[in-house]
Amino acid sequence: MNSQTTYFRYSLLASFILFIGFAPLSWIASLFVPGVWNKGVGIYSIFFVLLLNFAITTALVFYSRVSVNSRGIKCTNFWGKFYLVEWSTIRGARFYSGFWTSGLKFILISTTKLSKDLWLPLFLNDMSNFEQLVSKYAGTKNPLVKRLNERNTPTYRLKEAEAQIKLAWQAGIISGTLTLIFVLLSLAGYNFMGLIDASALIDVCLMFGLSFGIYKKSRIAAVLMLVYFAFNQAWIIIEIKRFPGIISWIFLILFLRGVQGTFTYRKLSKS
Q: What is the pLDDT of residues 2-31, one digit of tens each?
A: 568 999 999 987 888 788 777 777 777 777
User: Residue 39 pLDDT more than 60?
Assistant: no
Q: How far apart are CA 64 and CA 14, in angstroms?
A: 12
Q: How far apart are CA 20 and CA 246, in angstroms?
A: 10
Supply φ then ψ for residue 150, to 5 degrees: -65, -40
Q: How far apart are CA 165 and CA 3, in angstroms?
A: 41
Q: How far apart are CA 167 and CA 256, in angstroms?
A: 11
Residues in contact with 49: Cβ distance below 8 Å, sequence separation at least 6, in sequence order: 23, 26, 27, 30, 243
Q: Angle at CA 105, nearest 5°, toward 5 and 138?
A: 35
pLDDT for res 43: 65
Q: Which residue has the higher pLDDT, 226 or 41?
A: 226
Domain ranges of the chain: 6-152, 155-270
Among 18, 13, 3, which Cα is nearest to 249's? 18
Q: Are 88 and 139 in contact (CB under 8 A)?
A: no
- Could you tell me which residues are beta bridge partners of residue 96? 106
Q: What is the pLDDT of residues 194-217, one digit of tens each?
A: 556 667 788 889 999 999 999 999
Q: Are 102 and 253 in contact (CB under 8 A)?
A: yes
Q: Which string of DSSP letters, residue by residue, matches 2-55?
A: PPPPEEE-B-HHHHHHHHHHTHHHHHHHHTTSTTTTTTSS-HHHHHHHHHHHHH
Q: Are 213 and 220 in contact (CB under 8 A)?
A: yes
pLDDT for res 35: 65
pLDDT for res 257: 87
User: Left (φ > 0), alpha (ψ -120 to 50) or beta: where does 215 sit?
Assistant: alpha
pLDDT (average), residues 121-142: 93
pLDDT for res 197: 63
pLDDT (average), residues 257-267: 91
- Could you tell me which residues are beta bridge partners of residue 110? 92
Give the count of beta carbons closer than 10 Å to the beta carbon of residue 74: 17
Q: How far apart are CA 123 and CA 46, in angstroms?
A: 29
Residues in contact with 122: Cβ distance below 8 Å, sequence separation at least 6, in sequence order: 104, 105, 106, 107, 151
Among 269, 245, 187, which Cα is nearest to 21's? 245
User: Residue 189 pLDDT more than 90?
Assistant: no
Q: How far apart are CA 116 and CA 96, in angstroms?
A: 15
User: Residue 238 pLDDT more than 90?
Assistant: no
Q: How far apart are CA 172 and CA 123, in angstroms?
A: 25
Classify 66 as helix, strand or coil. Answer: strand
pLDDT (average), residues 43-62: 82
